[in-house]
């Protein structure tokens, strides 16, 4: 217990999953709370009955234990009760499942303007719905021991560790891996999803537009690989940074320019090395 309390990041919520960063995370939290409350009532009832029986029927010294051969009504009662509880949990889970699995529509469009939500959807081959309106699809690739992100657009921008997205936009994730099985997990943004070599898993999140603290330009959600993937597994961190659309576009343009500048610098260095090598061969 002391070791767990000393590592709050490993708990991802003391009793329940973290929430507040995305609608699917909120639905997962609701499901956990319901099951926890139901389990708590059952636990209190069972332990209470046990303690009551221990004291109520405590044998006196020299007494002979009574021979109990069963109670049909009681046995049928707790069997039917357990069955009904299971049916309730199953029904509630399937009611919550669509809001966890299927992405919600974006609250903004590609220009950052607020839009009304339209719930109509087309179903993809993976049985995950695709909401109407603007969305952003980012390819998440797990590697020992870093996360790589490929952003949409002709620039083919790649970043590592930190994923930057506009708040209010529904972000669809195509998750895979290059080497071994990893697991993408940002607790406040929803459930974890395995990154499997040769296979693409789907996940999504939508950061609320008002999630950015007042006076700041971004909100940051942290997580790390949730599947043991090698000796440096514990250092395979990931972050999702939410920005307003105008700030996101500025960040994106700056990153693209940095990549182009780096490519130009490398090209010039290669050219200089080639020229130096040619001069050396001539001498």
82: left (phi over 0), alpha (psi -120 to 50) or beta: alpha
Give the side-chain half-sphere CA count within 13 A for 126: 15
Classified as helix, coil or strand, 211 is helix
Query: Residues 41, 27, 173, CA angle at the centre, nearest 5°?
Result: 145
Pull the structure tokens for residue 42: 């059952």
Distance CA 13, CA 266 (A): 45
pLDDT of residue 123: 41
Q: Which residues pair with 148 in a beta bridge?
A: 141, 160
pLDDT of 106 > 50? The answer is yes
At the topology level, CATH places domain 121-265 in Immunoglobulin-like (2.60.40)
Of the candidate ranges 73-77, 109-113, 116-120, the one whose mean pLDDT is the lowest: 116-120
Of the candidate ranges 84-98, 108-122, 165-179, 229-243, the one whose mean pLDDT is the lowest: 108-122
Give the phi and the psi of residue 162 in degrees, each rounded to 5: -100, 125
Residue 144's Cβ-count burial label (10 Å; 0-12, 13-18, 19+) is middle
pLDDT of residue 238: 94
Q: Mean per-residue pLDDT for 115-119?
A: 62
Q: Mean per-residue pLDDT for 222-230?
A: 93
Q: Where are the beta strands (DSSP E) in 74-188?
A: 121-123, 129-131, 136-143, 146-150, 158-160, 162-166, 171-177, 182-184
| CA distances in angstroms from 55 to 41, 42, 49, 51, 84, listed in the order given | 21, 20, 10, 6, 30
Give the phi and the psi of residue 48 in degrees, each rounded to 5: -65, -45
Distance CA 138, CA 148 (A): 10
**Pick from 251, 174, 189: which is nearest to 220 by CA?**
189
What are the boundaries of each domain within the chain?
17-57+71-101, 121-265
User: What confidence category does residue 51 fall into, taking pLDDT thresholds of 50, 70 and 90?
Assistant: very high
Length of the chain, please?
Answer: 283
**Pick from 171, 175, 200: which is nearest to 185 by CA?**
175
Pull the structure tokens for residue 132: 């109407």
> DSSP class of residue 145?
T
pLDDT of 246 > 60? The answer is yes
* Torsion angle defined by CA atoms of residues 275, 277, 282 and 283, in that order, rounded to the nearest 10 degrees: 120
pLDDT of 60 > 90? The answer is no
Instruction: Give the gyration radius of the chain's Cα atoms.
Output: 27
Tell me the angle at which helices 23-56 and 72-101 cross, rounded to the nearest 10 degrees: 170
């Amino acid at each position: 217990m002391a070791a767990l309390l000393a590592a709050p990041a490993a708990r991802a919520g003391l009793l329940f999953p973290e929430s507040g960063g995305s609608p699917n995370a909120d639905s997962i939290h609701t499901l956990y709370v319901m099951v926890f409350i139901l389990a708590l009532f059952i636990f209190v009832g069972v332990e209470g009955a046990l303690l009551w029986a221990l004291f109520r029927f405590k044998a006196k010294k020299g007494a002979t234990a009574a021979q109990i051969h069963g109670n049909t009504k009681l046995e049928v009662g707790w069997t039917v009760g357990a069955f009904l509880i299971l049916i309730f949990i199953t029904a509630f889970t399937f009611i919550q499942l669509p809001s966890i699995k299927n992405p919600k529509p974006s609250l903004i469009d590609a220009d950052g303007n607020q839009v009304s939500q339209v719930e109509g959807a087309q179903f993809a081959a993976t049985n995950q719905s695709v909401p109407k309106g603007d969305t952003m699809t980012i390819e998440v690739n797990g590697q020992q021991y870093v996360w790589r992100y490929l952003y949409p657009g002709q620039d083919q921008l790649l970043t590592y560790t930190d994923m930057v997205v506009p708040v209010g936009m529904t972000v669809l994730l195509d998750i895979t891996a290059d080497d071994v099985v990893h697991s993408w997990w940002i607790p406040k943004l929803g459930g974890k999803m395995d990154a499997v070599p040769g296979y693409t898993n789907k996940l999504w999140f939508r950061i609320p537009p008002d999630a950015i603290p007042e006076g700041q330009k971004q909100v940051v959600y942290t997580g790390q690989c949730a599947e043991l993937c090698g000796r440096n597994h514990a250092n395979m961190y990931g972050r999702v940074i939410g920005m307003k659309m105008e700030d996101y576009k500025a960040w994106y343009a700056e990153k693209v320019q940095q990549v182009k500048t780096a490519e130009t610098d490398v090209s010039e260095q290669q050219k200089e090395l080639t020229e130096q090598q040619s001069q050396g061969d001539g001498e």
